[in-house]
Amino acid sequence: MVKPLVRRILLPIALLILFYTAFCNTPVVLQPSAQYPDHFGKHQEPLHVPIRPPFVNKSRTWDHLAAVDRFTSNVESKPVELEISDQDSETARVPAPLILGVPHNSLRSIPQALLGQLECPRAPNRFTNHIRLPNLLYNISMSPRSAVSREERTFWNPTIFALPYWAKNQYIIVSMVTPDGEALRRNVLCEANICRPKSAASRLTHERSCSEDDLGLLGPSGGLRCVTAPIEVIVPPTPAAKCEGREQVFADMPGFHDPRIFYSGRGEPILMVSSQSQYACIGLWAIDLRAVYPELEGTIASSPKRLGPGPVMSYPTLTELTRSPASSRGSYEKNWVMFSPSSSSSYLQYELNSSSRTIAQLIGGGLTTPNITDTLEEPCLRDLTIEEIEGSHYNESSTWHQATPSLKLVLCSRSNSTCNPETADTVFFAIIQRKNVNALGLPVRYERFVVVWSAVPPFNMLAVSRHPILMANETTSGWTAEESWDDVQDALLENRELWGRITYTTTIAYAWGREEKDVREKGTGHLDDDVILSIGVDDEGQVYARVKVSELLQCLRVCPGREQAHFDD
Ligand SMILES: *[C@@H]1O[C@H](CO)[C@@H](O)[C@H](O)[C@H]1NC(C)=O
Ligand SMILES: *[C@@H]1O[C@H](CO)[C@@H](O)[C@H](O)[C@H]1NC(C)=O
Ligand SMILES: *[C@@H]1O[C@H](CO)[C@@H](O)[C@H](O)[C@H]1NC(C)=O
Ligand SMILES: *[C@@H]1O[C@H](CO)[C@@H](O)[C@H](O)[C@H]1NC(C)=O
Ligand SMILES: *[C@@H]1O[C@H](CO)[C@@H](O)[C@H](O)[C@H]1NC(C)=O
Ligand SMILES: *[C@@H]1O[C@H](CO)[C@@H](O)[C@H](O)[C@H]1NC(C)=O
Ligand SMILES: *[C@@H]1O[C@H](CO)[C@@H](O)[C@H](O)[C@H]1NC(C)=O
């Protein structure tokens, strides 16, 4: 008889904590989660927190309840209890209840402000079907100004994020060193700044102008250059439980790969990597970047507008992220995307394609709930049509891959005085890629699309780019140079050639220079903020693009089942 009472007390407390952490600026001091045991949860005292909502309307039109229904249906209306470690800081705040009393209309419709993003700026290239943005790709140099000798190694698939505006430098780059015959995969990190040629730098006051040396390295348009010498990113090796068949080669391959850096909702700088899995062959792991690069600690903690230490670490040590039930995981998992609707809750989107989507909430120590994807959601991505496959540019085995971390977006402009981030609609966006392969299954090209999903449970997909996106000076393989440049008069006249066979977008991050009140705002932006896209070129080069959010998120197609708001009223 104790349990219902506990439950009745716990839920209000949980809601209070949630309210407090979401709306108060005062830092909540949490027990720092010392060390996770090697095997998650096994030796921890579980804290039972019911996630049953106080009232469940069984009507199917309340589709945001579907996930809860599914949780509860297989235990015959007994509330499901999640085992949660009380040592973990993420869960100390209690997972957000799935029910937030959202009116039905807003669930089926897309936010009004997204309607403005449906129009296309220009017609797509008539051969390649791409929409080209006016933004250039810029070079990245890992040779710091201070260095005695030039960096001779080559780098690829960079992952870049902006430091807070109060930091001495603007960006952190983590980049993979192109292997030069050795098996070990090395990744290096540096602090870096963007410079622009003097003629262009005045456009934005905070832009630095390039020295002659910078221009010599980066080219005439400037770009991003390390300020500190690149240091090796060291995270402990992880043992694989089992790599079988074709995957055997991965069992002992040293070093992690596919690093991604991003901010959690609490402002923690997170490094997510692929490494050998303790449950299967390859899995995804997270670690706080401050644990890897301690210099960051002081920067994160020194906000001029908020006193106190930086955010408590959810991942003080390398922590494997999981899937629940364990049987739903594949032996080689990759490209998972984390998103944080609030400072106290984070989710993983494991996969997203034309037939399926899987998301789950992180409940601490890398543990997750089962799949909470809305069962009524219709797939938004579309596979190639028969005509496309029958043409000479696509093969039927092209697949969708998540590529970048997600960013939270307040759907109005920072410069608009009526824009209130507390009341405006919010969404998440990320870049996904359609991987096209040749007859041997080897990649021919990656096509870049933006996906947008709701920041409110059950996080429905809202929109996707109508066309793949190219930057101003980018081409796409599979077409001739003339076809690729068909939409750029100057390039055609110059007989410009194809450039870069495979361009792979690894990360999006809000650009440096916004005056955040707090590090918790690093992962959130507005329509008029700039985003940095980190792009790998042909497994041996690295560039980046800088694009305004409202331009990256244009020419969108609304997902099926999401009526446009004006039909609802
Ligand atoms: C449940 O939701 C449906 C549809 O929104 C509504 O018609 C019905 O009145 C609700 N039931 C209760 C008990 O609130
Ligand atoms: C586009 O920009 C990248 C990076 O600055 C550069 O390396 C490349 O040469 C440019 N492409 C073309 C076709 O000019
Ligand atoms: C990048 O470097 C290449 C030479 O490596 C140069 O041709 C190109 O113009 C540079 N890009 C920019 C945007 O300056
Ligand atoms: C979509 O992803 C799921 C889960 O990974 C997979 O089983 C399915 O085959 C994929 N569908 C397509 C059309 O690629
Ligand atoms: C998760 O749930 C969604 C919605 O029901 C479903 O489409 C998807 O296949 C599920 N994922 C897995 C791995 O079962
Ligand atoms: C400013 O924002 C409001 C609502 O947030 C919107 O209605 C209005 O059109 C915006 N104004 C401009 C100039 O963008
Ligand atoms: C698709 O596969 C066929 C063989 O099945 C191959 O000949 C062709 O080159 C591939 N097309 C593309 C665009 O890679």
Total-model pTM:
0.81
Q: Is 305 helix (H, G, I), strand (E, B) or coil?
A: coil
Angle at 195 between CA 190 and CA 201, to 5 degrees: 160
Q: Residue 14 in 3-state DSSP?
A: helix
For 59-93, give the DSSP string.
-TT-GGGHHHHHHHHTTTTPPPEEEEETT-HHHHT
The alpha carbon of 399 and the centre of ligand 7 are apart by a number of angstroms equal to 15
Strands 524-526 vs 407-410: parallel, antiparallel or unpaired: parallel
Q: If you average pLDDT over residues 353-374, what whole number do you get?
A: 96
Taking the C-alpha atoms of residue 361 and residue 347, their distance in angstroms, rounded to an integer, is 4
- Assigned superfamily of 104-567: Glycosyl hydrolase domain; family 43 (2.115.10.20)
Nearest to 553 by CA among 475, 449, 479, 455: 449
Question: What's the rounded Cα separation, in Å, for the pair 354 and 455?
Answer: 21
User: Is the pLDDT confidence value at 499 over 60?
Assistant: yes
Per the CB < 8 A criterion, the answer to whether 444 and 98 are in contact is no
The pLDDT of residue 194 is above 50: yes
SS3 assignment, position 306? coil
CA proximity to 377, closest of 361, 362, 359: 359
- pLDDT-derived band at 95 (thresholds 50, 70, 90) equals very low
Both structure tokens of 366: 């890398």
C-beta of 219 in contact with ligand 3 (< 6 A): yes
Task: Note whether 154 and 191 are within 8 A (CB).
Answer: no
Q: Is the CB of 378 under 6 A from ligand 5?
A: no
Ligand 7 atom index nearest CA of 395: 1
User: Residue 195 corresponds to which tokens in the numbers above?
Assistant: 């410079």
Is any atom of ligand 3 closer than 6 Å to the C-beta of 135?
no
Query: How far away, in angstroms, is 361 Cα from ligand 5 center?
Result: 14
Give pLDDT, residue 203: 59
Q: Which atom of ligand 6 is nearest to the CA of 416?
A: 1
Q: For the chain, what are the domain ranges?
A: 104-567
Inter-residue long-range contacts of 233-236, CB under 8 Å, 24+ positions, other chains counted: 233/174, 233/187, 233/188, 233/189, 233/259, 233/271, 233/292, 233/293, 234/292, 235/271, 235/273, 235/275, 235/285, 235/287, 235/292, 235/318, 236/318
> Which ligand is closest to the CA of 550, given by its number?
6
Ligand 1 contact, 104 CB (< 6 A): yes
Which residues have any ligand 2 atom within 6 Å of their CB? 137-139, 219, 473, 496, 499, 543
458 preceded by a cis bond (ω within 30 of 0): yes
With the CA atoms of 494, 498, 504 and 505 taken in that order, what torsion angle do they form, in degrees rounded to the nearest 10?
A: 10
**pLDDT computed for residue 89 by the predictor:** 39
> 58 alpha carbon to ligand 1 midpoint, in Å?
8
Using most ligand atoms within 8 A of CB, pick from 138, 139, 471, 499 the residue to mutate for ligand 3: 139
- Per the model's pLDDT, the better-predicted residue between 564 and 341 turns out to be 341
Instruction: Encode pLDDT of 280-322 as tens digits.
Output: 999 999 999 999 999 999 999 998 888 888 999 999 999 999 9
Which ligand 1 atom minimizes the distance to the CA of 62?
5
Which among 473, 477, 502 is the best mutation to test ligand 2's pocket, defined by most ligand atoms within 8 Å of the CB? 473
Structure tokens at 299: 């920067």
d(CA 21, CA 380): 33
The residue whose CA has the least distance to atom 3 of ligand 5 is: 373
Going by C-alpha positions, the residue among 67, 109, 120, 108 that lies closest to residue 450 is 120
CA distances in angstroms from 347 to 7, 163, 322, listed in the order given: 24, 23, 11
Which atom number of ligand 7 is nearest to the Cα of residue 437? 14
Least confident of 92-101, 105-114, 362-371: 92-101
Residue 62: HSE in the Cβ half-sphere, 13 Å Cα cutoff: 15
Note the pLDDT tens digit of each residue in 216-228.
Answer: 999 999 999 999 9
Whether 136 is in the pocket of ligand 3, judged by its Cβ within 6 Å, is yes
A 10 A CB-CB count for 503 gives 26
Determine contact, residues 474/548, Cβ cutoff 8 Å.
no
Q: Atom 3 in ligand 2: which residue has the minimum CA distance?
A: 137
